[in-house]
Structure 1
Amino acid sequence: MKPSLLLVAILTVSCYSVEIKQGPSNASSLLGREAFFNCTVSLDYMIIIWLLNDNPVLTIVANHPIITNERFRFRNYTSELGYTAELIISSVELSDTGKVTCNLQSAESHTAFLDVQVNGSLHIANTSVKALKNTTVAVVCKASGWLPPPEMTWLANDSLTDPKNSVIQITERDDGLYDTVSTLNITANFTTVLTCMATIEALSSPQSVTVTLTIVAPSDRSSVIIIAVTGSITGILVLILIIGAIVYCVQQFRQPRSTYQEEVRKASSKKKAVASPAGQVNPGFSHNDSSFNFNSGYSVSSNENSTIYYYRNKELDNIDVSQVPDVVQKLETFQTDSKASRSLNDYHYAASPQKIRHVTAV
């Protein structure tokens, strides 16, 4: 028989005589951490092959590892039971979740399962919890971005609360992680330290967050209500003032500006308002009625050569001059000189309606 064939036959017999004493166990690991798997075989083993999801990741030949990926490392132990080959997976990823197999290149192989988990954030929505004595308070605790959804429990002064007093709500996100909300309903009998805990298998101890439930007196609560109401009223008043200011500014902005012609027209109107309402002299007036009486109302204007007598009907005094044009009635100009003078009472004439001339002041 050729030597090469003899060697193959020896290796074949040896491989079939080796057995796995203890295969790998299931393991859970947090994302980014390390995962460990042990496989114990007979001392006379020849080749050990580690597979992840049916893909070879590490091969051990006569205690010498053949490493093809730096994330997969090897460590070994020897005991009375046999030879133990340990597979170490560094910086585990979510894609590593699956089967881990120890194979001896024979019919015998043992498989375990790797579960990569994610511990997210944990917080209590109520940063400050206050309540009147003997009232029920709802305290909300939220775990965000976990895989799988964590188991959530509550402690009240280090004692587990009744699960019936809490409500759990789980929501799956688009990225495959989970958000879990736990609401604890508790009666405020005394000041209590509340602890919300979230745990998954890969965590060595639960992740927790605490808040203190404080009992307040009714007066304190009334003060809080008064402050809240006062603040609301103040906010409403400020809002009304702001709206009023905005409306006023908009109206001022939209009001049309006067043109030059309008300004001139306004100035002319003001001048008319302050002008004398007496009007001008009516030179076309003459007296034809002998019953005219100067004593009913007159005025006199004199110069070197003449005296002018003006008559104004007193009935017109009650008329609003802003609505009726001014009417001035001139009696007549009487020439006077140094040789003769006439008495005002010698002239008693009535103005003829046919010869009254109306003059409007402009």
Structure 2
Amino acid sequence: MHSTGCLLVLLHSFLGYSQILQGPQSAAVLLNSDALFNCTLSEPWVIMTWLLNGRTVLTILSATGPVVTNPRFTSRNNTQGNAFTAELIISKVSLQDSGVVMCDLQNIETKEANLSVQVNGSLQITNHSLSVLQDHSTTIVCQASKWYPEPKITWMLNKTWADPQNYTTGSSLSTEFYDTTSTLRLAPSSDVTIVCVASIPALPEPQTTTVNLTVTAEHAKPSNDKTVLIAVTVTFSAVALIVLIIVGIVFCCKKRTSSKSSYQEEMRKVSQGRSPNEQNSKMPQIQGKINLGFSAENISGNQESQGSRDTGNKTVALEQVPHVIQTNNKGHYPVNPKKMRQATVV
């Protein structure tokens, strides 16, 4: 190796002075994409090499061109005047490719740059409800998962950058990736379009996610509250209706029982309070014909119910002779027997 270096130095002295006019520039590229590095040399030059993290990945000879030993590392060359530009192409970079890229001119002069392989993960706003009452405070949460390196999170409100004092951001490293959460606090007075912005150097443009926050007047209630209120009202109304039906049924049964009892009690009172005269008065009146054999003697009194009394030499016997009545069947039936005097002369 020492002899090779001396040989190159002698060759350099023989051919003339060569130098690196412009070395490679640091680059940040996304995972599985291609990384490009340029190194411009002055003529004449003999040999140059590309190294990644101290390991030679490509050798280029001025006379024959590049010597490829790994298909992931290739070169594209360009000569303009007295300047030669060698471009290193690293295909489908991995996280392990991150590190130092070096351009070495004939083991005399070197220039180096940094390669950063980065990963953009997912980005989303995790809020389930995007409605808030007017001038009421709310929080919006933005979650960036599996990023490398740690992403920078910012917010926009109606296309205007939000004040950094209105949000907080925190990250945690899990294996090779970062999980970052940012929380925005605001109290909007009208509808607002909210954009969560995540950026890393390898992204040509930041990754964003957008939501629309609806602001409701304070006197109005969200649809969910209306639904709950309607459900509660219907439930209580149904319960009240059932209770009223039960109370009505019980009341009707009691009223019917009370009416029946009152009717029976009234009939009982009427039956007990009726006098014999009233009962007789309700019996049909039966009229009879005058018995012509009846004598009205001694009507004023001193009648004997059954037997006889002496009136001098006469014995008067009192018998009950009934009235004779005429019926439709032309029969005679005794009704209300009267006393009749029968005299026997001795």
Hey, what does 2:35 align to over in structure 1? Answer: 35
| Range 136-145 or range 7-16, more displaced | 7-16
Shift of 1:42: 1.1
Q: Aligned ranges for residues 82-93 of structure 1 at < 5 Å? A: 82-93=83-94
2:164 pairs with 1:163: yes
Instruction: Work out the CA distance in 2 between the residues paired with 1:107 and 1:148.
Output: 35
Shift of 1:129: 0.9
- Residues 122-147 of structure 1: CA deviation (Å, up to 9, x unaligned): 00002541011111110000100001
| Residue aligning to 1:49 | 49
How far off its partner does 1:14 sit?
4.8
Distance 1:52 1:218, change over 3 A: same
Structure 1 vs Structure 2: percent identity of aligned residues?
41
Q: Does the residue aligned with 2:11 lie in a helix, a strand or coil? A: helix
Asked whether the 8 Å contact 1:42–1:82 carries over to 2, the reply is yes
Runs of 4+ in structure 1 deviating by more than 6 angstroms, as ranges, are: 229-234
- Matches of residues 247-286 of structure 1 in structure 2 within 5 Å? none
What pairs up with 1:96-245 in 2 under 5 angstroms? 96-173=97-174, 175-218=175-218, 220-221=220-221, 223-228=223-228
Gaps of 5+ in 1: 1-6, 235-362
Against the structure 1 CA distance between its residues 233 and 119, is the aligned structure 2 distance closer, same or farther, given a 3 Å change threshold? farther
CA distance 1:228–1:95, change in 2 (3 Å): farther
Between 211-220 and 194-203, the greater mean CA deviation after superposition: 211-220
Relative to structure 1, is the Cα distance of residues 225 and 144 closer, same or farther in structure 2, using a 3 angstrom cutoff? same
Residue of structure 2 equivalent to 1:94: 95
- Secondary structure of the corresponding residue to residue 224 of structure 2: helix
8 A contact 1:128–1:211 mirrored in 2: no
Which string of whole-angstrom CA distances, capped at 9 and with x for unpartnered residues, describes residues 71-97 of structure 1?
111111222461110101110000001
* Contact persistence 1:127–1:211 (CA under 8 A): no
Q: Is the 8 A contact 1:14 1:45 kept in 2?
A: no
Give secondary structure in 1 for the equivalent of 2:108: coil
Instruction: Give distance in 1, aligned partners of 2:39 and 2:195.
Output: 41
CA distance in 1, matches of 2:8, 2:189: 81
The one-letter code matched in structure 2 to 1:215 is V
Amino acid at match of 1:123: Q
Looking at structure 1, the residues matched to 209 and 9 of structure 2 have their Cα atoms a distance apart, in angstroms, of: 64
2:68 counterpart of 1:75: no
Letter in 1 for 2:99: G
Corresponding residue pairs, total: 227
Matches of 1:233 and 1:80, distance apart in 2: 89
Structure 2 SS opposite 1:188: coil
CA deviations 1:285-321 (Å, max 9, x no partner) are: xxxxxxxxxxxxxxxxxxxxxxxxxxxxxxxxxxxxx
Q: What letter corresponds to residue 112 of structure 1 in structure 2? A: A
Note if contact 2:16-2:44 (Cα within 8 Å) is conserved in structure 1.
Answer: no
Cα RMSD for the two superposed structures: 2.4
Q: Give secondary structure in 2 for the equivalent of 1:135.
A: coil
Do the aligned residues in 1 keep the contact of 2:18 with 2:44 (CA within 8 Å)?
Answer: yes
Q: From the superposition, tell whether residues 81 and 168 of structure 1 become closer, same or farther in structure 2 (CA, over 3 Å).
A: farther
Question: Residue by residue, what CA displacement relative to the aligned partner does 1:27-71 show, whole Å, maximum 9, x if unpaired?
Answer: 111111111111011121111100001111111112611111111
Q: How big is the shift at 1:107?
A: 2.5
**CA gap 1:116/1:228 in 2 versus in 1, 3 angstroms:** farther
1:163 deviates by 0.5
Alpha-carbon shift at residue 98 of structure 1 (Å): 0.5
For residues 50 and 222 of structure 1, the distance between their equivalents in structure 2, rounded to whole angstroms, comes to 65
Partner of 1:279: none
Deviation at 1:9, TM superposition (A): 7.8
How far apart are residue 166 of structure 1 and its match? Answer: 0.4
Pair 1:222–1:84, CA change in 2 (3 A): closer
Q: Which amino acid aligns with 1:60?
A: I
Which residue does 1:275 correspond to in 2?
none
Give the drift of 1:215.
1.0
Q: 3-state DSSP class of the match of 1:17?
A: coil
Structure 2: gaps of 5 or more residues:
1-6, 235-346
- Structure 2 SS opposite 1:204: coil
Amino acid of the residue matched to residue 90 of structure 1?
A: S
Q: Please tell me whether Structure 1 or Structure 2 has the larger radius of gyration of its CA atoms.
A: 2
